[in-house]
Amino acid sequence: AQSVTQLDSQVPVFEEAPVELRCNYSSSVSVYLFWYVQYPNQGLQLLLKYLSGSTLVKGINGFEAEFNKSQTSFHLRKPSVHISDTAEYFCAVTRTSGGSYIPTFGRGTSLIVHP
């Protein structure tokens, strides 16, 4: 079984400040890890992914995440946030299912960027 824990339900931050959104996972098999972003009234959009290789992965909009196997973490970071980064962020661990992938999502972290 797989599960994802997002430790913070809400993260307020001022514009141009750095931010880290925390994610821990558990899985009995090899994992594929993802971060999705959901802007208001929109669907989920893939921000970045870890499948294998380098543990530091870069995504869209200046975000990056680091896979830490020993700590079973996949925290999301951005060195300087913008107002437009205000959104809901979901961490997900994905397993294969036949010819596709099925994600298990965390509860989400609401990033609120203040001017």
Partner 1 sequence: EPEVTQTPSHQVTQMGQEVILRCVPISNHLYFYWYRQILGQKVEFLVSFYNNEISEKSEIFDDQFSVERPDGSNFTLKIRSTKLEDSAMYFCASDVGRTGGFQPQHFGDGTRLSIL
Q: Does 53 bind partner 1 (CB under 8 A)?
A: no
Whole-angstrom distance, CA of residue 91 vs CA of residue 67: 12
Which residue among 28, 54, 70, 100 contacts partner 1 (CB under 8 A)? 100
Residue numbers 79-98 binding partner 1 by CB under 8 A: 90, 96-98
| Residue 28 or 52 with smaller CB distance to partner 1 | 52
Among the listed residues 82, 62, 66, 83, the one whose alpha carbon sits nearest the alpha carbon of residue 74: 66
Residues that bind partner 1 (CB under 8 A): 32, 34, 41-46, 49, 51, 90, 96-108
